[in-house]
Amino acid sequence: MPTTQTPPIDQEAAQAAMGGEDRSARIAVTVFPVMILAAFALAMILPDVFQPLGAGTNWALGIIMFGMGLTLTVPDFALVVRRPLPVLVGVLAQFVVIPLLAILLTWTFHLPDAIAVGVILVGCAPGGTSSNVISYLSKGDVALSVTMTSISTLLAPLLTPVLTGWLAGAYMPVDAGAMAMSIVKMVLVPVVGGLAVRALFSRVVERILPLLPWVSVLGICYVVLAVVSKSADKILSAGLLVLAVVACHNLLGYLLGFLAGKAAGGSERVNRTTSIEVGMQNSGLAATLAATHFASTPETALPGAVFSTWHNLSGAVLAMYYRHRPLAD
């Protein structure tokens, strides 16, 4: 009689790790909005308690980026060669469409200079770290999502300061060189470090993959606590205006991202992924950069803090919508 072959132990462990990662991601994306809202509320109610956390925002973001690096493998970047068009469309939309949309919104809403700079910073940031989980829950192309986020993140040390200096320089002086060095320290070095650790100690990292979504959750909560507590009084006076701009930026990003993917002939899965990648920004990075480089105007960090709260709520809702909508292809 033929016998059923059991998969090798390493394969079983990898499958178990991936299953645990998927379950953890589902829980994280459900609980994440609640935790973000709780962090936002606590920072508003007890700002004096959480203001000292501001000294550690750079470290918190570095830990988030290191966790992102641990989820990457070298083959993830092979998509750039095998499927260059969707990657190119997503990255171009990320660094062209969304920054220009930020400028349009600052003009439309007649934003004060400091808040306008914060909105532009969000628009010039790379893809958000939670976009990969949202793409997975939306039945999107997860491999493409990981590649888009990775490429936009690696380009951020060059493009984010240049675009911010160009678009926001009319409102406030921008030291693009200092901002580039900050992004290298907070983003590039941790991501590359995480990628190297994954390559060298893959078996160990695979065992902790289910914990990595929570690294992002707790890190963003820390950033929200630190930034919101420092700007609590500004939120009370300008919160509704900022929320309106942030909501428009995020929702129009989803729409324009989907249309960009469709115009390039992408499948439904690819279009959903592009929509999410373009609509969700690394607002934690934007808020941290604002707090670091525009410390004299703390309200500059306000759009990033509000975006961190809003886009995770909207992303969870969008994932539910996409998940229950049949795939056309």
Domains parsed from the chain with CATH numbers: 17-323 (1.20.1530.20)
Nearest to 61 by CA among 114, 17, 125, 124: 125
**Does residue 56 sit in helix, strand or coil?**
helix
**CA–CA separation, 122 and 111 (whole Å):** 14
pLDDT (tens digit per residue) in 213-248: 777 778 878 888 887 887 777 777 777 888 899 999
Nearest CA-CA partner of 129 in 17, 201, 216, 51? 216
- pLDDT computed for residue 13 by the predictor: 47
Identity of the residue numbered 313: L
The average confidence (pLDDT) of the chain is 83
Question: Distance of CA 72 to CAs 30, 190, 270, Å?
Answer: 23, 12, 20
Return the pLDDT at 301: 85
Q: What is the pLDDT of residue 26?
A: 60
Q: What gap in Å lies between CA 244 and CA 109, rounded to an integer?
A: 9
CA triplet 299, 126, 235: central angle to 5 degrees?
20
Q: Is the pLDDT of residue 120 over 90?
A: yes
Amino acid 9: pLDDT = 42
pLDDT at 79 over 80: no
The residues facing 127 across adjacent strands are 281
Contacts of 222 (CB under 8 A, 6+ apart): 39, 53, 56, 57, 60
